[in-house]
Amino acid sequence: MARKNAENAGSGVRPQDMVSLDEAAQVLGVSRSTLYRWQQQGRLRGFKVGRQWRFRRSDLDKLSQATHPSAAAVNVAELDVALADLSARAEAAGEIVFDLGMPGYPVTEEERAVENAFSAILAAAVGAGASDVHMDASRNGTIVRQRIDGVLHEALRVPKSSHAALVACIKAHSGIPLDQRGLPQDGRFTFRVGEKEFDVRTATIPAVYGESVVMRLLDQAVTLLRLDGPHGMYPEEVEKYRRALRSPTGMLLVCGPTGSGKTTILYAGLLEIANSELKTMSIEDPVEYSFRHVTQIAVNKKAGLTFEAALRAIARHDPDVVLIGDIRTLESAEVAAQMAITGHLVMTQLHAETAAGAVTRLLDMGLEPFMVVQTLIYVSAQRLARKVCPECKQPDDPHFKLLSSLAERARRGGYELPDKPQFMRGAGCDHCRQTGYRGRTGIYEVMEIDREIQRLIARRATTEEIQEAAVRNGMRTLAADALRKAAEGITSLAEAARVVPT
Protein backbone atom coordinates (compact mmCIF):
# COMPACT_ATOMS: atom_id res chain seq x y z
CA MET A 1 0.00 0.00 0.00
CA ALA A 2 2.86 2.40 0.92
CA ARG A 3 4.58 1.59 -2.34
CA LYS A 4 1.38 2.34 -4.27
CA ASN A 5 0.98 5.72 -2.54
CA ALA A 6 4.62 6.63 -3.30
CA GLU A 7 4.10 5.86 -6.95
CA ASN A 8 0.87 7.84 -6.97
CA ALA A 9 2.77 10.82 -5.56
CA GLY A 10 4.37 11.25 -8.94
CA SER A 11 1.17 10.80 -10.91
CA GLY A 12 0.43 13.52 -13.42
CA VAL A 13 4.14 13.97 -14.22
CA ARG A 14 5.34 12.57 -17.53
CA PRO A 15 8.20 10.03 -17.28
CA GLN A 16 10.35 12.13 -19.61
CA ASP A 17 10.11 15.02 -17.12
CA MET A 18 11.65 12.89 -14.34
CA VAL A 19 15.32 12.08 -13.73
CA SER A 20 17.08 9.53 -11.55
CA LEU A 21 18.86 10.27 -8.29
CA ASP A 22 22.29 10.05 -9.95
CA GLU A 23 21.23 12.40 -12.75
CA ALA A 24 19.76 14.87 -10.24
CA ALA A 25 22.98 14.86 -8.22
CA GLN A 26 24.97 15.55 -11.40
CA VAL A 27 22.70 18.41 -12.49
CA LEU A 28 22.98 20.11 -9.09
CA GLY A 29 26.66 19.25 -8.65
CA VAL A 30 26.12 17.58 -5.28
CA SER A 31 26.69 14.14 -3.79
CA ARG A 32 23.95 11.52 -3.34
CA SER A 33 24.10 11.99 0.46
CA THR A 34 23.62 15.75 0.09
CA LEU A 35 20.62 15.10 -2.12
CA TYR A 36 19.11 12.79 0.53
CA ARG A 37 19.73 15.47 3.17
CA TRP A 38 17.97 18.09 1.08
CA GLN A 39 14.98 15.77 0.74
CA GLN A 40 14.77 15.38 4.52
CA GLN A 41 15.00 19.17 4.96
CA GLY A 42 12.19 19.68 2.47
CA ARG A 43 14.38 21.58 0.02
CA LEU A 44 13.71 19.06 -2.76
CA ARG A 45 10.76 16.74 -3.32
CA GLY A 46 11.45 13.19 -4.52
CA PHE A 47 9.12 10.49 -5.83
CA LYS A 48 9.68 6.81 -5.03
CA VAL A 49 9.07 4.72 -8.15
CA GLY A 50 9.57 1.05 -7.30
CA ARG A 51 12.87 1.00 -5.44
CA GLN A 52 14.30 4.10 -7.12
CA TRP A 53 13.93 7.79 -6.42
CA ARG A 54 12.90 10.15 -9.21
CA PHE A 55 12.94 13.96 -9.34
CA ARG A 56 11.13 16.50 -11.47
CA ARG A 57 13.30 18.53 -13.83
CA SER A 58 11.36 21.71 -13.01
CA ASP A 59 12.16 21.28 -9.28
CA LEU A 60 15.85 20.85 -10.08
CA ASP A 61 15.87 24.00 -12.23
CA LYS A 62 14.35 26.04 -9.40
CA LEU A 63 16.79 24.66 -6.84
CA SER A 64 19.80 25.24 -9.07
CA GLN A 65 19.04 28.97 -8.95
CA ALA A 66 19.24 29.15 -5.15
CA THR A 67 21.94 26.83 -3.87
CA HIS A 68 25.58 25.85 -4.09
CA PRO A 69 27.02 22.67 -5.41
CA SER A 70 28.22 20.66 -2.45
CA ALA A 71 30.55 22.76 -0.32
CA ALA A 72 31.70 19.70 1.58
CA ALA A 73 35.17 20.00 0.05
CA VAL A 74 35.64 23.49 1.52
CA ASN A 75 38.22 23.70 4.29
CA VAL A 76 36.60 26.30 6.57
CA ALA A 77 39.72 26.96 8.66
CA GLU A 78 41.87 27.41 5.56
CA LEU A 79 39.31 29.80 4.03
CA ASP A 80 39.11 31.84 7.23
CA VAL A 81 42.89 32.25 7.29
CA ALA A 82 42.91 33.42 3.67
CA LEU A 83 40.20 35.99 4.45
CA ALA A 84 41.84 37.34 7.61
CA ASP A 85 43.27 40.54 6.08
CA LEU A 86 40.32 41.12 3.75
CA SER A 87 37.76 40.72 6.53
CA ALA A 88 39.09 43.77 8.37
CA ARG A 89 38.63 45.93 5.27
CA ALA A 90 35.20 44.40 4.67
CA GLU A 91 34.04 45.23 8.21
CA ALA A 92 35.14 48.83 7.75
CA ALA A 93 33.00 49.10 4.58
CA GLY A 94 29.84 47.80 6.27
CA GLU A 95 27.48 44.85 6.21
CA ILE A 96 26.34 43.43 2.88
CA VAL A 97 22.58 42.99 2.46
CA PHE A 98 21.39 41.11 -0.61
CA ASP A 99 18.20 42.25 -2.28
CA LEU A 100 17.10 38.98 -3.80
CA GLY A 101 14.57 37.35 -1.50
CA MET A 102 16.82 34.29 -1.42
CA PRO A 103 15.73 31.32 0.75
CA GLY A 104 17.25 30.92 4.18
CA TYR A 105 20.34 29.04 3.02
CA PRO A 106 23.16 28.08 3.60
CA VAL A 107 22.60 25.44 6.24
CA THR A 108 26.02 23.84 6.70
CA GLU A 109 29.15 25.35 8.18
CA GLU A 110 30.94 25.07 4.84
CA GLU A 111 28.17 26.78 2.91
CA ARG A 112 27.95 29.53 5.49
CA ALA A 113 31.72 30.07 5.22
CA VAL A 114 31.44 30.42 1.44
CA GLU A 115 28.61 32.97 1.77
CA ASN A 116 30.66 34.93 4.30
CA ALA A 117 33.66 34.91 1.95
CA PHE A 118 31.49 36.17 -0.91
CA SER A 119 30.12 39.00 1.25
CA ALA A 120 33.62 39.94 2.45
CA ILE A 121 34.92 40.11 -1.14
CA LEU A 122 32.10 42.46 -2.15
CA ALA A 123 32.38 44.64 0.97
CA ALA A 124 36.15 45.00 0.58
CA ALA A 125 35.69 45.97 -3.08
CA VAL A 126 33.18 48.65 -2.08
CA GLY A 127 35.53 49.94 0.61
CA ALA A 128 38.41 50.17 -1.86
CA GLY A 129 36.31 51.96 -4.46
CA ALA A 130 36.76 49.14 -6.99
CA SER A 131 34.80 49.12 -10.24
CA ASP A 132 35.27 45.39 -10.90
CA VAL A 133 36.17 42.20 -9.05
CA HIS A 134 38.08 39.49 -10.95
CA MET A 135 38.34 35.86 -9.79
CA ASP A 136 40.76 33.64 -11.73
CA ALA A 137 41.58 30.05 -10.83
CA SER A 138 45.18 28.89 -11.02
CA ARG A 139 47.04 25.66 -10.27
CA ASN A 140 47.44 26.55 -6.58
CA GLY A 141 44.30 28.50 -5.81
CA THR A 142 42.11 31.40 -6.88
CA ILE A 143 43.40 34.95 -7.23
CA VAL A 144 40.86 37.68 -6.40
CA ARG A 145 41.71 41.11 -7.76
CA GLN A 146 40.05 44.52 -7.60
CA ARG A 147 40.15 47.02 -10.45
CA ILE A 148 40.80 50.41 -8.87
CA ASP A 149 41.24 53.49 -11.09
CA GLY A 150 41.54 51.18 -14.08
CA VAL A 151 44.37 49.01 -12.69
CA LEU A 152 44.04 45.55 -11.13
CA HIS A 153 45.28 45.00 -7.56
CA GLU A 154 45.42 41.61 -5.87
CA ALA A 155 43.08 41.46 -2.87
CA LEU A 156 43.46 37.86 -1.68
CA ARG A 157 44.08 34.25 -2.67
CA VAL A 158 41.28 31.77 -2.09
CA PRO A 159 42.21 28.12 -1.40
CA LYS A 160 41.71 25.80 -4.36
CA SER A 161 39.20 23.72 -2.41
CA SER A 162 36.83 26.71 -2.15
CA HIS A 163 36.82 27.81 -5.80
CA ALA A 164 33.92 25.73 -7.15
CA ALA A 165 31.66 26.49 -4.18
CA LEU A 166 32.47 30.22 -4.32
CA VAL A 167 31.75 30.39 -8.05
CA ALA A 168 28.47 28.53 -7.48
CA CYS A 169 27.56 30.98 -4.72
CA ILE A 170 28.11 33.90 -7.10
CA LYS A 171 26.08 32.16 -9.82
CA ALA A 172 23.22 31.46 -7.42
CA HIS A 173 22.99 35.12 -6.44
CA SER A 174 23.30 36.20 -10.09
CA GLY A 175 20.49 33.95 -11.32
CA ILE A 176 22.86 31.83 -13.44
CA PRO A 177 22.04 28.09 -13.87
CA LEU A 178 24.54 25.92 -12.01
CA ASP A 179 24.40 22.96 -14.36
CA GLN A 180 26.08 24.72 -17.31
CA ARG A 181 29.78 24.94 -16.59
CA GLY A 182 31.16 24.56 -20.11
CA LEU A 183 29.84 27.82 -21.61
CA PRO A 184 30.21 31.55 -20.89
CA GLN A 185 27.30 32.82 -18.78
CA ASP A 186 26.14 36.15 -17.42
CA GLY A 187 23.70 37.41 -14.81
CA ARG A 188 23.10 40.18 -12.33
CA PHE A 189 22.10 40.88 -8.74
CA THR A 190 21.83 43.79 -6.32
CA PHE A 191 23.08 44.37 -2.80
CA ARG A 192 23.21 47.20 -0.30
CA VAL A 193 25.93 48.52 1.99
CA GLY A 194 24.41 50.98 4.41
CA GLU A 195 22.40 53.45 2.32
CA LYS A 196 24.22 52.60 -0.91
CA GLU A 197 22.72 50.21 -3.44
CA PHE A 198 24.88 48.42 -5.99
CA ASP A 199 23.90 46.69 -9.19
CA VAL A 200 26.33 43.89 -10.11
CA ARG A 201 26.85 42.45 -13.59
CA THR A 202 28.36 38.97 -13.43
CA ALA A 203 30.16 37.19 -16.29
CA THR A 204 31.68 33.71 -16.11
CA ILE A 205 33.79 31.77 -18.59
CA PRO A 206 35.29 28.26 -18.38
CA ALA A 207 39.08 28.16 -18.00
CA VAL A 208 41.73 25.46 -17.50
CA TYR A 209 41.71 25.41 -13.69
CA GLY A 210 38.09 26.41 -13.12
CA GLU A 211 35.58 29.06 -14.13
CA SER A 212 36.78 32.65 -14.28
CA VAL A 213 34.40 35.28 -12.89
CA VAL A 214 34.20 39.04 -13.32
CA MET A 215 31.74 41.15 -11.32
CA ARG A 216 31.18 44.77 -12.32
CA LEU A 217 29.93 46.99 -9.49
CA LEU A 218 27.64 49.89 -10.40
CA ASP A 219 26.86 52.31 -7.59
CA GLN A 220 23.27 53.43 -8.18
CA ALA A 221 23.76 56.39 -5.82
CA VAL A 222 26.55 57.89 -7.92
CA THR A 223 25.65 61.27 -9.39
CA LEU A 224 25.97 60.97 -13.15
CA LEU A 225 28.66 63.08 -14.76
CA ARG A 226 27.61 66.44 -16.19
CA LEU A 227 29.41 68.53 -18.77
CA ASP A 228 30.03 71.24 -16.19
CA GLY A 229 31.57 68.63 -13.84
CA PRO A 230 35.10 67.20 -13.35
CA HIS A 231 35.41 65.08 -16.49
CA GLY A 232 38.78 66.37 -17.73
CA MET A 233 37.54 68.18 -20.84
CA TYR A 234 38.86 71.71 -21.29
CA PRO A 235 36.27 74.47 -21.93
CA GLU A 236 36.95 74.64 -25.66
CA GLU A 237 36.34 70.88 -25.99
CA VAL A 238 33.11 71.10 -23.96
CA GLU A 239 31.88 73.84 -26.27
CA LYS A 240 32.54 71.66 -29.34
CA TYR A 241 30.54 68.84 -27.73
CA ARG A 242 27.68 71.16 -26.83
CA ARG A 243 27.66 72.55 -30.36
CA ALA A 244 27.16 69.05 -31.72
CA LEU A 245 24.47 68.27 -29.13
CA ARG A 246 22.52 71.34 -30.22
CA SER A 247 22.39 70.06 -33.80
CA PRO A 248 18.93 68.71 -34.73
CA THR A 249 20.41 65.98 -36.96
CA GLY A 250 23.67 64.14 -37.50
CA MET A 251 25.81 61.52 -35.81
CA LEU A 252 28.11 61.97 -32.81
CA LEU A 253 30.78 59.31 -32.32
CA VAL A 254 32.68 58.69 -29.08
CA CYS A 255 35.63 56.29 -29.49
CA GLY A 256 38.10 54.41 -27.36
CA PRO A 257 38.85 50.98 -25.92
CA THR A 258 36.71 49.18 -23.36
CA GLY A 259 36.77 50.96 -20.00
CA SER A 260 37.77 54.38 -21.35
CA GLY A 261 34.62 56.17 -20.16
CA LYS A 262 32.75 56.32 -23.49
CA THR A 263 29.36 55.52 -21.97
CA THR A 264 29.92 58.03 -19.17
CA ILE A 265 30.58 60.93 -21.54
CA LEU A 266 27.60 59.95 -23.71
CA TYR A 267 25.41 59.92 -20.60
CA ALA A 268 26.72 63.40 -19.72
CA GLY A 269 25.64 64.61 -23.16
CA LEU A 270 22.26 62.92 -22.79
CA LEU A 271 21.70 64.66 -19.45
CA GLU A 272 22.51 67.95 -21.16
CA ILE A 273 19.73 67.71 -23.75
CA ALA A 274 17.06 65.27 -22.50
CA ASN A 275 13.83 67.09 -21.62
CA SER A 276 10.08 66.76 -21.92
CA GLU A 277 10.03 68.50 -25.30
CA LEU A 278 12.22 65.91 -27.00
CA LYS A 279 11.47 62.24 -27.66
CA THR A 280 14.74 60.63 -26.55
CA MET A 281 15.38 56.89 -26.80
CA SER A 282 18.38 54.70 -26.08
CA ILE A 283 19.46 51.16 -26.99
CA GLU A 284 21.97 49.75 -24.53
CA ASP A 285 23.65 46.47 -23.63
CA PRO A 286 23.04 46.59 -20.73
CA VAL A 287 21.17 49.62 -19.36
CA GLU A 288 23.43 50.89 -16.58
CA TYR A 289 21.58 53.92 -15.21
CA SER A 290 18.04 55.25 -15.57
CA PHE A 291 17.23 58.70 -16.97
CA ARG A 292 14.27 61.02 -16.82
CA HIS A 293 12.67 61.79 -20.18
CA VAL A 294 14.53 58.89 -21.86
CA THR A 295 12.93 55.66 -23.08
CA GLN A 296 15.65 53.07 -22.51
CA ILE A 297 15.74 49.70 -24.26
CA ALA A 298 17.96 46.81 -23.16
CA VAL A 299 19.36 44.52 -25.86
CA ASN A 300 18.18 40.92 -25.46
CA LYS A 301 19.95 38.74 -28.01
CA LYS A 302 18.31 35.53 -26.78
CA ALA A 303 14.90 37.00 -27.58
CA GLY A 304 16.10 38.38 -30.91
CA LEU A 305 16.24 42.02 -29.76
CA THR A 306 19.64 43.02 -31.17
CA PHE A 307 20.97 46.54 -31.73
CA GLU A 308 19.91 46.31 -35.37
CA ALA A 309 16.39 45.03 -34.61
CA ALA A 310 15.86 47.67 -31.92
CA LEU A 311 17.10 50.43 -34.23
CA ARG A 312 14.68 49.43 -36.96
CA ALA A 313 11.83 49.33 -34.43
CA ILE A 314 12.43 52.70 -32.77
CA ALA A 315 12.51 54.45 -36.14
CA ARG A 316 8.71 54.05 -36.06
CA HIS A 317 8.47 55.73 -32.64
CA ASP A 318 9.29 59.21 -33.96
CA PRO A 319 12.37 59.92 -31.76
CA ASP A 320 14.27 63.21 -31.87
CA VAL A 321 17.43 61.87 -30.20
CA VAL A 322 18.70 58.28 -30.26
CA LEU A 323 21.56 56.96 -28.14
CA ILE A 324 23.02 53.69 -29.44
CA GLY A 325 25.20 51.81 -26.96
CA ASP A 326 27.63 50.55 -29.59
CA ILE A 327 28.13 50.23 -33.35
CA ARG A 328 29.57 46.79 -34.00
CA THR A 329 28.38 45.75 -37.46
CA LEU A 330 27.88 47.27 -40.88
CA GLU A 331 24.11 46.83 -40.49
CA SER A 332 23.99 48.84 -37.25
CA ALA A 333 26.25 51.52 -38.80
CA GLU A 334 23.98 51.80 -41.84
CA VAL A 335 20.77 52.02 -39.79
CA ALA A 336 22.36 54.65 -37.51
CA ALA A 337 23.51 56.68 -40.52
CA GLN A 338 20.08 56.46 -42.16
CA MET A 339 18.45 57.73 -38.95
CA ALA A 340 20.90 60.64 -38.85
CA ILE A 341 20.12 61.48 -42.51
CA THR A 342 16.35 61.39 -41.94
CA GLY A 343 16.24 64.01 -39.21
CA HIS A 344 17.47 62.43 -35.97
CA LEU A 345 20.40 63.24 -33.70
CA VAL A 346 22.26 59.95 -33.18
CA MET A 347 24.75 59.55 -30.30
CA THR A 348 26.83 56.40 -30.32
CA GLN A 349 30.21 54.83 -29.63
CA LEU A 350 32.73 52.89 -31.65
CA HIS A 351 35.85 50.92 -30.78
CA ALA A 352 38.65 52.85 -32.47
CA GLU A 353 42.08 54.11 -31.38
CA THR A 354 41.74 57.75 -32.45
CA ALA A 355 39.11 60.18 -33.73
CA ALA A 356 40.54 60.11 -37.25
CA GLY A 357 40.85 56.33 -37.03
CA ALA A 358 37.11 56.10 -36.28
CA VAL A 359 36.33 57.59 -39.68
CA THR A 360 38.60 55.05 -41.38
CA ARG A 361 36.99 52.26 -39.38
CA LEU A 362 33.48 53.23 -40.54
CA LEU A 363 34.69 53.11 -44.15
CA ASP A 364 36.46 49.78 -43.58
CA MET A 365 33.24 48.35 -42.13
CA GLY A 366 31.62 49.05 -45.51
CA LEU A 367 29.75 52.32 -44.89
CA GLU A 368 29.73 54.39 -48.06
CA PRO A 369 31.78 57.63 -47.95
CA PHE A 370 28.77 59.77 -48.95
CA MET A 371 26.83 58.48 -45.91
CA VAL A 372 29.72 59.33 -43.57
CA VAL A 373 30.03 62.81 -45.12
CA GLN A 374 26.30 63.52 -44.82
CA THR A 375 25.87 62.28 -41.23
CA LEU A 376 29.05 62.65 -39.19
CA ILE A 377 29.30 65.97 -37.31
CA TYR A 378 31.51 65.17 -34.30
CA VAL A 379 34.05 62.51 -33.31
CA SER A 380 35.98 62.24 -30.07
CA ALA A 381 38.45 59.69 -28.77
CA GLN A 382 39.33 59.28 -25.13
CA ARG A 383 41.25 57.45 -22.45
CA LEU A 384 41.19 57.51 -18.65
CA ALA A 385 44.41 58.44 -16.83
CA ARG A 386 45.05 58.13 -13.11
CA LYS A 387 45.44 61.42 -11.26
CA VAL A 388 48.37 62.10 -8.96
CA CYS A 389 47.33 61.63 -5.34
CA PRO A 390 46.87 65.11 -3.82
CA GLU A 391 48.02 63.91 -0.38
CA CYS A 392 51.48 62.70 -1.43
CA LYS A 393 52.24 64.50 -4.69
CA GLN A 394 55.67 66.01 -5.15
CA PRO A 395 57.64 67.59 -8.02
CA ASP A 396 58.88 65.14 -10.62
CA ASP A 397 61.97 65.21 -12.82
CA PRO A 398 60.99 62.86 -15.65
CA HIS A 399 63.42 60.89 -17.76
CA PHE A 400 64.58 62.92 -20.78
CA LYS A 401 63.93 60.13 -23.31
CA LEU A 402 60.34 59.68 -22.14
CA LEU A 403 59.69 63.42 -22.09
CA SER A 404 61.22 64.15 -25.50
CA SER A 405 59.29 61.32 -27.17
CA LEU A 406 55.91 62.44 -25.83
CA ALA A 407 56.73 66.13 -26.36
CA GLU A 408 57.43 65.54 -30.05
CA ARG A 409 54.18 63.65 -30.53
CA ALA A 410 52.30 66.38 -28.64
CA ARG A 411 53.87 69.09 -30.80
CA ARG A 412 52.60 67.36 -33.95
CA GLY A 413 49.25 67.01 -32.19
CA GLY A 414 48.76 70.72 -31.48
CA TYR A 415 50.44 71.35 -28.11
CA GLU A 416 53.78 72.98 -27.28
CA LEU A 417 55.30 72.22 -23.88
CA PRO A 418 55.65 75.42 -21.76
CA ASP A 419 59.05 76.61 -20.52
CA LYS A 420 58.27 75.68 -16.90
CA PRO A 421 56.03 72.61 -16.77
CA GLN A 422 54.75 71.54 -13.33
CA PHE A 423 55.42 67.79 -13.54
CA MET A 424 54.25 65.88 -10.44
CA ARG A 425 54.31 62.32 -9.14
CA GLY A 426 52.86 60.59 -6.11
CA ALA A 427 55.25 59.24 -3.49
CA GLY A 428 52.66 56.77 -2.18
CA CYS A 429 50.62 56.99 1.03
CA ASP A 430 47.72 55.33 2.87
CA HIS A 431 45.21 57.50 0.99
CA CYS A 432 46.24 56.02 -2.38
CA ARG A 433 47.17 52.49 -1.23
CA GLN A 434 50.85 53.36 -1.82
CA THR A 435 50.27 53.70 -5.58
CA GLY A 436 50.80 57.45 -5.89
CA TYR A 437 47.49 57.82 -7.74
CA ARG A 438 43.92 58.47 -6.65
CA GLY A 439 40.98 59.01 -8.97
CA ARG A 440 41.00 59.38 -12.76
CA THR A 441 40.58 62.07 -15.36
CA GLY A 442 39.75 61.95 -19.06
CA ILE A 443 42.24 62.38 -21.89
CA TYR A 444 40.44 63.57 -25.05
CA GLU A 445 40.82 64.51 -28.67
CA VAL A 446 37.78 66.21 -30.20
CA MET A 447 37.32 66.49 -33.97
CA GLU A 448 34.64 68.61 -35.57
CA ILE A 449 33.84 67.61 -39.16
CA ASP A 450 34.51 70.61 -41.39
CA ARG A 451 34.45 70.85 -45.20
CA GLU A 452 38.13 69.94 -45.56
CA ILE A 453 37.64 66.73 -43.58
CA GLN A 454 34.46 65.95 -45.55
CA ARG A 455 36.46 66.20 -48.80
CA LEU A 456 39.10 63.86 -47.37
CA ILE A 457 36.44 61.34 -46.31
CA ALA A 458 34.82 61.47 -49.76
CA ARG A 459 38.10 60.44 -51.42
CA ARG A 460 38.90 57.84 -48.72
CA ALA A 461 41.97 59.66 -47.40
CA THR A 462 44.27 57.96 -44.89
CA THR A 463 43.91 58.28 -41.12
CA GLU A 464 47.09 60.39 -41.02
CA GLU A 465 45.72 62.88 -43.59
CA ILE A 466 42.44 63.25 -41.70
CA GLN A 467 44.27 63.74 -38.39
CA GLU A 468 46.58 66.41 -39.83
CA ALA A 469 43.57 68.30 -41.19
CA ALA A 470 41.80 68.06 -37.82
CA VAL A 471 44.87 69.44 -36.00
CA ARG A 472 44.96 72.37 -38.43
CA ASN A 473 41.28 72.90 -37.56
CA GLY A 474 42.09 73.18 -33.82
CA MET A 475 42.03 69.58 -32.54
CA ARG A 476 44.55 68.48 -29.92
CA THR A 477 45.48 64.80 -30.17
CA LEU A 478 45.41 62.36 -27.26
CA ALA A 479 49.18 62.69 -26.86
CA ALA A 480 48.87 66.49 -26.75
CA ASP A 481 46.08 66.44 -24.18
CA ALA A 482 47.89 63.87 -22.03
CA LEU A 483 51.11 65.91 -22.00
CA ARG A 484 49.17 69.08 -21.16
CA LYS A 485 47.60 67.41 -18.13
CA ALA A 486 51.01 66.07 -17.07
CA ALA A 487 52.57 69.53 -17.45
CA GLU A 488 49.82 70.95 -15.22
CA GLY A 489 50.47 68.31 -12.54
CA ILE A 490 47.10 66.59 -12.92
CA THR A 491 48.66 63.26 -13.87
CA SER A 492 52.23 62.03 -14.03
CA LEU A 493 54.27 61.93 -17.22
CA ALA A 494 54.67 58.15 -16.86
CA GLU A 495 50.87 57.73 -16.67
CA ALA A 496 50.37 60.05 -19.64
CA ALA A 497 52.75 57.95 -21.73
CA ARG A 498 51.02 54.75 -20.57
CA VAL A 499 47.50 55.62 -21.65
CA VAL A 500 47.97 57.27 -25.05
CA PRO A 501 48.29 55.06 -28.16
CA THR A 502 51.74 54.81 -29.69
Distance, in Å, from the CA atom of 286 to the CA atom of 347, rounded to the nearest integer, reads 16
Distance, in Å, from the CA atom of 332 to the CA atom of 296, rounded to the nearest integer, reads 17
Label the pairing between strands 185-193 and 96-98. Answer: antiparallel
CB-based contacts of 30, cutoff 8 Å, min separation 6: 38, 69, 70
Distance, in Å, from the CA atom of 404 to the CA atom of 479, rounded to the nearest integer, reads 12
Helix (H, G, I), strand (E, B) or coil at 482: helix
Distance, in Å, from the CA atom of 319 to the CA atom of 478, rounded to the nearest integer, reads 33
pLDDT at res. 15: 65
pLDDT (tens digit, 9 = 90+) per residue, 214-269? 999 988 766 667 887 778 899 999 999 999 999 999 999 999 998 888 988 999 99
Query: At residue 284, does pLDDT exceed 90?
Result: no
Distance, in Å, from the CA atom of 157 to the CA atom of 162, rounded to the nearest integer, reads 10
Percent of the chain with pLDDT over 90: 46
pLDDT at res. 64: 60
pLDDT at res. 286: 78
**Residue 191: closest CA among 99, 102, 289:** 99
DSSP per position, 41-93: HTSS--EEETTEEEEEHHHHHHHHTS-PSP-TT--HHHHHHHTHHHHHHHHHH
**Residue 263: closest CA among 347, 149, 333:** 347
In the structure, what pLDDT confidence band is assigned to residue 2 with cuts at 50, 70 and 90?
very low
Percent of the chain with pLDDT over 70: 89
Distance, in Å, from the CA atom of 204 to the CA atom of 366, rounded to the nearest integer, reads 33
Q: What domains, with CATH codes, occur in the chain? A: 2-63 (1.10.1660), 76-219 (3.30.450.90), 235-385+441-475 (3.40.50.300)
Angstrom CA distances, 485 to 214, 230, 356, 382, 388, stand at 32, 13, 22, 14, 11
Distance, in Å, from the CA atom of 275 to the CA atom of 294, rounded to the nearest integer, reads 8
pLDDT at res. 4: 39
Q: What integer best gives the mean pLDDT of the chain? A: 85
Average pLDDT of 48-53?
Answer: 78
DSSP per position, 415-456: -PPPSS---EEE---GGGTTSSEEEEEEEEEEEE--HHHHHH
Average pLDDT of 156-165?
Answer: 89
pLDDT (tens digit, 9 = 90+) per residue, 378-402? 999 999 999 999 999 999 988 888 8
